[in-house]
Amino acid sequence: MESVLPHRAARFLGDARRVVIFTGAGISAESGVPTFRDDLTGLWARFDVQRLATPEAFHADPDLVWGWYEWRRRRVRRAEPNPGHLAIATIEARVPGSTVITQNVDDLHERAGTGAVIHLHGSLFAPRCVTVAAHPATFQDPQDGDAVELHEGRRIPPPRCASCAALVRPGVVWFGEALPEAALTAAVEAAATCDVLLTVGTSGVVYPAAEIPRIAARSGATVIQVNPEPTPLDQVCAINLRGTAAQVLPALVAAAWEATAER
């Protein structure tokens, strides 16, 4: 295992022409956004997936589900990108052939300056009509001006679609649902053709997203992981950097372009 001094990883990154950065909840942890599977603080340690994150849950209790996603959306609004997100935006700027793929539904990569982000699991900021997916553009979010402090269990009736009056639902991928096809296709293509894939802050257990680093490894890319804990992805990674995203990524970026400048 490599230490937190990422010299070998920096060489691979600095030499790469096509880089994929694949992120999970851990990249946003140091911005104060909870992960899913951390023992005490993870969302799935504190909340019931079946009651909150399935199409059946929304059908059974739309106010509970909409209120929970409203609470999460507001938390993200108040969060700021951390040095890990900023380092990723720097990689994207340095390596023209780079692609950022995230499982996260927050917008912290975009706010850190990353241009085009592939969101495999949708977005908290793209609610859509529950019946006609083509209706989202007509929806105006009535909660945005609401200054009321939200708590995590507050029930809020979802708004109605301005086109057809059906309920509006969060624009995220729920358990049991397919990933957005165009996003998945673009992610697979990027993973299959990159030189280096950096996997950051994901437990690597939710499929098909967790296939992305595995596809890169099978296609001959060097896969580098940034995570303070071991994950099932350790096996496919050439280099495992044990540390947090906000610690490791800025050091990695600095070392990558120092390493290439020296040659």
Please select the residue that binds ligand OAD; options are 169, 244, 255, 256, rule is CB under 6 A: 244
Name the minimum Å distance from CB 50 to ligand OAD.
12
Give the C-alpha separation, 179 to 84, whole Å: 26
The structure tokens listed for 59 are 């059908």
3-state secondary structure of 52: helix
Q: What is the 3-state secondary structure (H, E, C) of 147-212?
A: CCCCCCCCCCCCCECCCCCCEEECCECCCCCCCCHHHHHHHHHHHHHCCEEEEECCCCCCCCCCHH
Q: What residues act catalytically?
A: 121
Q: Which residues pair with 119 in a beta bridge?
A: 102
Please select the residue that binds ligand OAD; options are 201, 215, 217, 221, rule is CB under 6 A: 201
Residue 29 in contact with ligand OAD, rule: CB under 6 A: yes
Residues 103-122, interacting with ligand OAD (CB under 6 A):
103, 121
- Helices and strands (DSSP H and E) totals, the chain: 11, 8
Residue 173 in contact with ligand OAD, rule: CB under 6 A: yes
Please select the residue that binds ligand OAD; options are 20, 25, 52, 194, rule is CB under 6 A: 25
Name the minimum Å distance from CB 51 to ligand OAD.
14
The structure tokens listed for 229 are 């804990």
Residue 6 in contact with ligand OAD, rule: CB under 6 A: no
Q: Give the residues lining the site for ligand OAD (CB under 6 A).
A: 24-26, 29-30, 35-38, 42, 53, 103, 121, 173, 201-203, 206, 226-229, 231, 244-245
